[in-house]
Structure 1
């Protein structure tokens, strides 16, 4: 669509601007949407939380918070989560503007999180999605506001320091540093400056931002040649759902070059069995074979401007001739196994955690899968086990692939198919069904869930606020995992002299090791006590100071304990220990607090100076400090130098 082209709306209508809120305002006898019962209750709740009543000076803050809380809650309920790009970034800006106003009202703790209950009571009757997604909304609001309060506190401190250095205008490069290094929103910087009577050098900020973008583009610059067209037709047919090899005609190609990969060629065929990278699934690999036997390897497949592009390191010698395009069957089947597993995983997560779970991204590789989803908390070991068990139960069920091509979108949704929020779908879609799992999907899949063989979760982590990630393996990778575990178990058995019960044998070893550690600690304490008695008796009197300098065979913790023990029993003590372990040197210095005040001695300064003799450095407090270095042979010289400091 462009300015020169018009299309008819599906449902012709006139936008009068007469929304529900304006109708409600009229019915309630007011001209102000914020004076309706709905907003009045939200504003009253805000007042209760911040312990401040709305007045002419702060009323706008109350209204911004109420409005932005409502918008944020509904966006989260629809599956949008805060992020640094796209609609997630829009949500984050909405939330942070509202949170900024709660800060202006004096709130030091999250407000949105506590305010949601009022919104839920007011609107969930007509909008049940607020109840369905309650846990996700509350936790996302809480985490995002806690994160924002930390960012706000840090950013405002830095901004305050910078404001002290200016007269009227904050330099753009300073604002950019706040934005780029500390994540402080530029609009928030501008707002704070305006409130205090200053302005922002917006053009300077824009220039700094543009320079960074230019640097980033230069680092990833790709030189692309013109398409060499062999056949004018842009028509291309994808046959990869049914075929792994196909006679093809090369219709166009071009040369591309970048610093990372060097020279590559992009080939387009009239038809292809190669699946292009899309929907999170990696592109197929394989080869192109000429009739004379010449082979060109296809190292990746991508989609560009609705064309499937095959990437190679070399160009066929006779591109105008017919070739056979052959997909790497092993990689395709492994990727298909992992893609099917993501569908089963999605179903399992909704079954175990709740209907608020929604897919937020995925990576389907031939060796592993990665699945991002909306959830407000780390999954417990029990929940992860339930998810894994659910998926493996569906694998054992032997569910056949049911594929529906060219199905009307509305019909697929009515049947219960899961569609990714924000994804654009054609009127006709492809639906994939395995048992109760129904999803709109263009990827490749196994014919039966038994082909997945087994599903193993290898990791669970946080990706962003309200988004978790599960990593897993199936099929070939799962078999390799079990084989490695079996080999490791056999090795453990050999080390345990073929113990019939390896677990009991390991527990006994742990018990014995714990007992030996206790004995060792006791010996260290006895040794330290013995050294303490000896050092106490041998401490020298040097210039009004009791001086101890010695090499000791103790670890850092034991040296510290010994030093403080001596400090409690020897007045006016200046102590310096030296020790070495595995080629590394350690200096420990203790100075009685009386000496620190009377003679201006400082243990931190002492070790920093002596640390030079062991090619290292350190620091600490005035009465206790340590230094490490890589020259143990310098320890004796350091101990001698310590005496000279007080002589």
Structure 2
């Protein structure tokens, strides 16, 4: 980054001096001409622990001080965004305040909600999850206080000079010694953008970053940052981030950030676990203060860094490392649990459903890690107790309390799943360890990703087999980082873009009048089997709604339209066959009305069913996918448990009540900011539409951004019938339903099934339940009788079989081939024979296959499973089993005699 980027008039007017740090080599600005270090750790140690920098404030007071400061200076205060980034398709969690405005505002496509603005945004970053609790400063969730200004060519708000001046002034209002503040030059890059940045430092701690985002990534860019090329962009964005928790820590001067930001939760946890709180013990307090100071000098990224930190601290205070670990680990565990519980409160309250994918994966990771940590503490508090405790002190966001009932239910289910995972995990790891001489990190990560098995379990099982596993101390951070972003499919440039780039956007008649099925249009272009018109009533595939079909007619020919797609605003019609159609020709289009109306009803019904599901199951329900067809539709939703039959009926009933209310469906285009402000981020249930305008479809109190075709009122949807509900993956439930005449046909099909069954049983339909129950009871009795007869038959056969047993050495062996006898009966016979002290080799031929059963008396040297394997090989199959009972089989029934003899020969070797 060029030096001129940081040559600010404000610095020169206020006696700042630019210097180069003698330790890290970075450039910084300071009012102190004698200063030779930049002020950042590890170049400067923490100096604020025990000596607060600011006037003491808690989280609420500090947040209000910041927001009020900027509000008084012309910034509009806006509310927080969710911690799950619903408005983005590239990341899952909100990592910074600028995430709230990417990609639409930062690209200049959409104006900001206010300009300038100020916000305090709760953020979640899990990249340093393993450092939480140990470093004294790391957090999984934090608030980024910020002020933003979005400068364009048309409107200049403010830029670097004012940004630094605001920062200086705010620090003064907090009581900071302004001469101790340094501004360190540091290029910033992320999310495809970049710019010069000033890190704000005091007391050895980075408090804020002032980013001047004015570049975008480009292959032909001339500015190189971290190996990537950038070029200047039209927008100039003030992107600041002030760490709320760090400001509070500096005002408190406590030994760790955790004691400063949620002391009540820490204290309650420690008391419940019988752990001495460092805040109440001068010796412990000094240990943790020293640890925090040293951790500022060592970046804890892996196990070697942690060992170095422990070793240096042990040497400094004069104790052995093992003893230091014994003292510190319980306290650090409390810090971690307190932090993770607060993180989960925001995650779950903001409607993340734990699962194996996306944001749900990250929520489950934090849940299971916290449960694991809780197991190491002797406390009666469970995870929900700690989360609930946080809500008593987070007064700025009262909405968090509204989710406690749902959070309690989610944690109950997740805890049960975790216990099941631990139980099965031991066996899975044991099998894997037996097959391998070592378990590399990738295998340990796969065990966690695939089965949810914690690395501690893998390590424990491996140690019992004398197999050492090296699990890095930043294991959970590595896993979280892998799952923090959406996997990107490499984009390819459609060659047809060049063909249509000079054509005007197609006029969409299906929006102007959804009941237009016949129209006249002018041909703008033809190529391959495609035709482009100036206007069309044909709907192109999108939003889970299939493309329309129909015909396009010229004066001489009629062409079938088999597919329709939209490309950069231009609608392309695919014809079944090439034909002579000329540019400028006037054609007539006719849409398949029956197909379109079926899709339209199912699209509107999808909105209605989703609305009903949210009301029955809870606000956490989020659309994960949808698809419409003529005879049915499916809706995939996030939900943490199976949909019960009662819930299914209630969703269906409520959906039909909405239909019968005949609510007018309101469809309007809104400015994106206005739409988000009015309707919230549930707008994006069906995906994230591009551009600054959003087409909002409202069915009563439900509003979604949607480009599909819809009925004019809910009554036109007709009946809605839920066909089935099923779990398609963990955390995702699928609802299949039919609407309109498709619903009637599905009900008629069910009715036909009911009447046909009644006719078979020769009873009226209303007598089916009673009749089915009676038949079932009779069937159970007959089954029991059948089993009794089989036992009697087996016993009768055994007597004869034993009398015909073959003597092979010291062994009496029953060897027999049965026809028409199933495996179950062979097992009964084999057990009866071995119970009388004999061996058996039994082959049953049934339905063209051979079943093998072998048996041996208890504690015999001859293993029945080994005999079954030998016999089954001859039959072209496989076998095995326990010492007392072996099973197998094969399809080469013609070799049954040979297989029996092979089994008998096996006894000769004993």
Q: Normalising by the residue count of structure 1, what TM-score does the alignment of the two structures yield?
A: 0.77
Q: Select the residue among 790, 813, 817 that pairs with 1:551.
A: 817
Deviation digits for residues 261-282 of structure 1 (CA, Å, limit 9, x no counterpart): xxxx555433222333333333
Alpha-carbon distance between aligned partners in 2 of 1:253 and 1:51, rounded to the nearest angstrom: 78
**CA displacement at 1:64 relative to structure 2:** 4.8
Q: Confirm whether residue 293 of structure 1 aligns to residue 557 of structure 2.
A: yes
User: Could you tell me which residue of structure 2 aligns to residue 625 of structure 1?
Assistant: 886
Deviates more, 1:491-500 or 1:146-155: 146-155
1:296–1:312 CA contact under 8 A, matched in 2: yes
1:542 to partner: Cα distance: 3.3
Q: What RMSD over aligned residues (CA atoms) do the two structures have, in Å?
A: 4.7
Q: 1:295 to 1:410 in 2, by over 3 A?
A: same
Task: Name structure 1 gaps, 5 residues minimum.
Answer: 199-205, 207-212, 256-264
Say whether residues 1:525 and 2:791 are aligned partners. yes
Distance 2:534 2:550 in 1: 17
| CA pair 59-31 structure 1, distance change in 2 beyond 3 A | closer
Q: How many residues matched?
A: 605
For 1:419, what is the secondary structure of its paired residue? helix
SS for the counterpart of 2:552 is strand
**Is the CA contact 1:412–1:431 (under 8 Å) kept in the aligned structure 2?**
no
Are 2:245 and 1:21 aligned? yes
C-alpha deviation, 1:621, in angstroms: 0.8
Q: CA deviation at 1:333?
A: 0.8
Paired with 2:444 and 2:748, the residues of 1 have a C-alpha distance of 55
Measure the CA separation in 1 of the matches of 2:765 and 2:108. Answer: 80
Seen in structure 2, the aligned counterparts of structure 1 residues 518 and 330 have a Cα distance that, compared at 3 Å, is same
Q: 1:96 aligns with which of 365, 368, 371?
A: 365
Paired residue secondary structure (2:595): helix
> 1:381-437: per-residue Cα shift (whole Å, max 9, x none)?
111111112222333333343444558863786479952368467665444344454
1:248 and 2:521 aligned: yes
Tell me which of 384, 388, 400 is aligned to 2:648: 384
Report how far residue 334 of structure 1 moved. Answer: 0.8
State which of 705, 714, 725 in structure 2 corresponds to 1:460.
725
Distance 1:485 1:411, change over 3 A: closer
Q: Which residue of 1 aligns with 2:389?
A: 118
Q: Is the 8 A contact 1:399 1:435 kept in 2?
A: yes
How far apart are the structure 1 equivalents of 2:434 and 2:634?
Answer: 43
Q: Residues of 2 paired with 1:47 and 1:159: CA distance? A: 41
Alpha-carbon distance in 2 for matches of 1:61, 1:276: 55
Task: Give the aligned partner of residue 543 of structure 2.
Answer: 279
Equivalent residues of 1:280, 1:363 under 8 A apart = yes
Change over 3 Å in CA distance of 1:171–1:26 after alignment to 2: closer
Q: Aligned partners of 1:165, 1:512: CA distance in 2, in Å?
A: 57
The answer for unaligned runs of 5 or more in structure 2 is 1-103, 118-145, 148-166, 168-207, 209-241, 279-326, 459-468, 476-481
Give the match's secondary structure for 1:379. coil
Aligned residue among 581, 588, 593 for 1:329: 593
Contact 1:136 1:376 in 2 (8 A): no
For residues 602-625 of structure 1, give each alpha carbon's deviation from its aligned partner in whole angstroms, at most 9, with x where no partner exists: 211111111123222211012210
**Counterparts of 2:691 and 2:354, CA distance in 1:** 27
Matched, 1:354 2:624: no
SS in 1 for 2:520: strand
| Counterpart-to-counterpart distance in 2, 1:197 and 1:486 | 59
Q: How does 1:76-475 map to 2 (within 5 A)?
A: 76-81=348-353, 88-89=358-359, 92-93=361-362, 96=365, 99-100=368-369, 103=372, 107=376, 115-123=386-394, 125-140=395-410, 146=417, 195=472, 225-226=495-496, 229=499, 232-241=502-511, 242=513, 243-252=516-525, 265=529, 267-301=531-565, 303-320=566-583, 321-406=585-670, 410=674, 414=678, 418-420=682-684, 423=688, 429-475=694-740
Q: After the TM superposition, which of the residue ranges 67-76 and 384-393 deviates more from structure 2?
A: 67-76
Quote how far apart the aligned CAs of 1:11 are.
2.1
Cα deviation for residue 56 of structure 1 reads 4.2
2:832 to 551, 565, 580: 565
Distance 2:428 2:645 in 1: 37
Distance 1:101 1:414, change over 3 A: closer
Structure 1 residues 118, 281: CA separation in 2 closer, same or farther (over 3 Å shift)? farther
Structure 2 vs 1, CA of residues 48 and 313 (structure 1 numbering), >3 Å: closer, same or farther? farther
The equivalent of 1:210 in structure 2 is none
Q: 1:12 aligns with which of 116, 121, 124?
A: 116
Q: 1:452 to 1:289 in 2, by over 3 A?
A: same
Q: Is the 8 A contact 2:830 2:855 kept in 1?
A: yes
**Distance in structure 1 (CA, Å) of the matches to 2:562 and 2:408:** 48
Q: Give the distance between the partners of 1:48 and 1:631, measured in 2 at CA.
A: 68
SS of match in other structure, 1:461: strand
